[in-house]
Amino acid sequence: MNEIYTNNAISQSFETEVVVEPASAGSRIAAYCLNILFTFIAFLPLIITIGYSLEDFLGSTKVTVYDQSSFNQMAVVGLVILLAYAILQVIMMSKSGQSLGKKVMKIRVLKTDGTNPGFGGTVLIREIGFNFILSLGCTLISKILVLAIGGDDELTEGISSLLSMIVWLVCFIMMFNRSKDRRTLQDYLANTVVVKLPNNR
């Protein structure tokens, strides 16, 4: 079925027209928190496995071959669950511009021309690319500053973390700017916008 997603410059040529608006800051924050929760749940089997194994190891002087085999099996199960979760998230973001959190909140990522960003726009540029650039940029700037003022690796890491926090704070504030369609730095990098879908979508 063909549709049009249109909001200012956001449009897509389809047979029917569906007008959408930029997703609210609250819905985007809720989607982000839900993704953190889902990620924690996906990690939980592996965390429990490692926790019990450490407890057994520290509480006893002898680890049997059976114990090691059980740990290996549980660890594999935990890794499979985590991998399945990661693959599911990538597929969803690539096909519909929605992570699990965005799916629950009925919001999605679109390019500013209304088309689906796909794997390249949503995953590679908006997620991986942005975080890579952020990490690299903060690290380089912090090292330059430390070379200029003097300091050690601990100071470098501290400055890098501070710069990263500032960038995320800027992105957070940008979500409340209605005049710019609530687009964040990730959106500008990937030429995207996060929109609220109609209730029947």
Closest CA relative to residue 12, chosen from 106, 108, 93 = 108
Collapsing DSSP states into helix, strand and coil, what is residue 111?
strand
d(CA 108, CA 95): 11
Burial class for 56, CB neighbours closer than 10 Å (0-12, 13-18, 19+) = middle
pLDDT number for residue 19: 75
The contacts of residue 139 (CB under 8 Å, 6+ apart) are 156, 160
d(CA 196, CA 122): 16
How many Cα atoms sit within 13 Å of 82 on the Cβ side? 12
> Do the Cβ atoms of 111 and 191 come closer than 8 Å?
yes
- Output the six-digit token pair for 22: 């930029």
* pLDDT in 10s for each residue of the chain, 201 residues: 334 445 444 444 334 556 789 999 999 999 999 999 999 999 998 888 877 765 555 555 454 544 567 777 888 888 999 999 999 999 999 999 999 999 999 999 999 988 999 999 999 999 999 999 999 999 999 999 988 888 788 899 999 999 999 999 999 999 999 999 999 999 999 999 999 998 755
d(CA 91, CA 119): 8
